[in-house]
């Protein structure tokens, strides 16, 4: 797939616009959540200590939908992919918004996530991306939506990781519509973060966490459309979340637990309990992801053998770190 350059505005204006939309929208969302008593209460399966409003991620969604529509109708970019991204984002955010107001079963949410992933995959196939890329788009969208939902458990973590990964993908893409889309995502997350760090005044909610995962999947697929060599290295910036979510999920399954229910067994949650400060953990994960982005950019022209070996080593190192982080005073 090919992407045209530009969005009819300057790049600084594009970034500032997404930041302002998300920031103002989060302020409004917080007032709405307080008025409707949409609060996450503390509990043994949660990492926060005070009742906190949820649903602030709707502001990021609105900013992203605005940006996608602008790109679809204001540039020469292929509209089917961008329209599919908008439809899928609306589906994922919509079911999350409903769940934030009235809890749904995980299976009903998963069904909608699968439909959104299918919409994205069909657009990739229609654009000439091929069956392999279309299947990969379906899989990565379904995975990232749920990974970001699993990993949204402490202040600033999910939004900061999405911002960093999106910025890394924008740099990798270099120019064109997909880079602008990624930068819009990063800027919208930055607009939300002042309300979520250093102590959260509002949470993303399911409307935000799932939407971030789907948006990153759309950006990743767009960058991967530049060529088959892009696929492996694009997994590096996602490593912090993929390792923690995958190994924690596997451990829960092996113990016969109800893995789909809320819990506090992720490595980041163990680390947060040990330090007593969410910001330290969020910054630690950010440092890991920044290193992963640097490696991704350094290896963009490397041979597939070097890339594969490096990714294997990085994920192996991350798995070792995961084991160490879970060894807190309560045990794993």
Each as own residue / partner, the long-range contacts of residues 41-45 (CB below 8 Å, 24 or more positions apart, any chain) are 44/264, 45/261, 45/262, 45/263, 45/264
Give the CA distances from residue 42 to residues 26, 143, 149, in Å, rounded to whole numbers and listed in that order. Answer: 22, 27, 18
CB neighbour list of residue 48: distance below 8 Å, 6 or more residues apart:
40, 42, 154, 155, 200
pLDDT in tens, 77-108: 778 899 999 999 999 999 999 999 999 999 99
pLDDT at 158: 97
| C-alpha to C-alpha distance for 9 and 14, rounded to whole angstroms | 6
Whether the Cβ atoms of residue 196 and residue 156 lie closer than 8 Å to each other: yes
The answer to whether 266 and 323 are in contact (CB under 8 A) is: no
Q: Is 291 helix (H, G, I), strand (E, B) or coil?
A: helix
What was the pLDDT predicted at 50?
A: 80
- What is the phi/psi pair of residue 53, to 5°? -60, 150
Question: What is the pLDDT, as a whole number, of residue 277?
Answer: 86
d(CA 201, CA 210) in angstroms, rounded, equals 20
Q: CA-CA distance, 322 to 317, in Å (whole number)?
A: 9
The answer to whether the peptide bond before residue 198 is cis (omega within 30 degrees of 0) is: yes
Residue 180 CA to residue 167 CA, distance in Å, equals 10
| β partners of residue 316 | none
Residues in contact with 171: Cβ distance below 8 Å, sequence separation at least 6, in sequence order:
293, 297
pLDDT value, residue 47 = 60
Distance CA 188, CA 207 (A): 14
Check: CB of residue 175 under 8 Å from CB of residue 61. Answer: no
Residue 332, pLDDT score: 39
Q: Residue with structure tokens 């969005």? A: 7
Q: Which residue positions in the chain have pLDDT lower than 70? A: 1-7, 43-49, 76, 226-230, 328-332
Contacts of 306 (CB under 8 A, 6+ apart): 299
Residues 6+ apart with CB under 8 A from 154: 47, 48, 268, 269, 272, 278, 281, 282
Q: How far apart are CA 116 and CA 211, in angstroms?
A: 11
Q: What are phi and psi of 128, to 5 degrees?
A: 90, 20
Residue 39 — φ and ψ, nearest 5°?
Answer: -120, 140
Confirm if 208 and 151 have CB atoms less than 8 A apart: no
DSSP assignment letter at 329: T
45 conformational bin, left if phi > 0, alpha if psi -120 to 50, beta if neither: alpha
Asked if 60 and 23 touch (Cβ cutoff 8 Å), the reply is no
Alpha-carbon Rg of the chain, whole angstroms? 19
């Amino acid at each position: 797939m090919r992407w045209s350059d530009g969005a009819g505005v300057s790049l600084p204006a594009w970034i500032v616009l997404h930041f302002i939309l998300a920031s103002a929208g989060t302020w409004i969302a917080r007032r709405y959540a307080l008025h409707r008593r949409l609060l996450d209460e503390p509990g043994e399966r949660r990492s926060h200590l005070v009742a906190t409003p949820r649903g602030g991620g709707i502001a990021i969604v609105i900013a992203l939908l605005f940006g996608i529509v602008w790109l679809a109708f204001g540039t020469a970019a292929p509209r089917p992919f961008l329209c599919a991204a908008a439809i899928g984002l609306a589906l994922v955010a919509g079911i999350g918004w409903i769940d934030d107001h009235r809890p749904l079963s995980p299976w009903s949410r998963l069904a909608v996530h699968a439909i959104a992933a299918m919409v994205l995959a069909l657009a990739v196939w229609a654009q000439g991306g091929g069956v392999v890329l279309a299947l990969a788009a379906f899989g990565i969208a379904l995975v990232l939506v749920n990974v970001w939902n699993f990993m949204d458990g402490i202040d600033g973590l999910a939004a900061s990781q999405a911002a960093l990964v999106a910025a890394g993908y924008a740099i990798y893409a270099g120019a064109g519509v997909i880079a602008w889309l990624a930068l819009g995502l990063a800027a919208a997350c930055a607009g939300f973060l002042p309300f979520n760090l250093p102590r959260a005044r509002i949470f993303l909610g399911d409307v935000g966490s799932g939407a971030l995962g789907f948006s990153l999947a759309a950006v990743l697929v767009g960058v991967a459309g530049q060529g088959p060599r892009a696929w492996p290295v694009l997994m590096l910036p996602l490593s912090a979340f993929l390792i923690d979510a995958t190994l924690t999920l596997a451990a829960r399954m092996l113990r016969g637990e109800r893995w789909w229910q809320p819990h506090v067994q992720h490595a980041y949650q163990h680390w947060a309990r040990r330090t007593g400060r969410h910001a330290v953990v969020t910054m630690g994960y950010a440092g890991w992801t920044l290193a992963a982005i640097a490696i991704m950019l350094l290896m963009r022209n490397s041979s597939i053998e070097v890339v594969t070996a490096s990714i294997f080593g990085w994920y192996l190192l991350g798995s070792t770190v995961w084991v160490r982080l879970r060894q807190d005073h309560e045990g794993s």
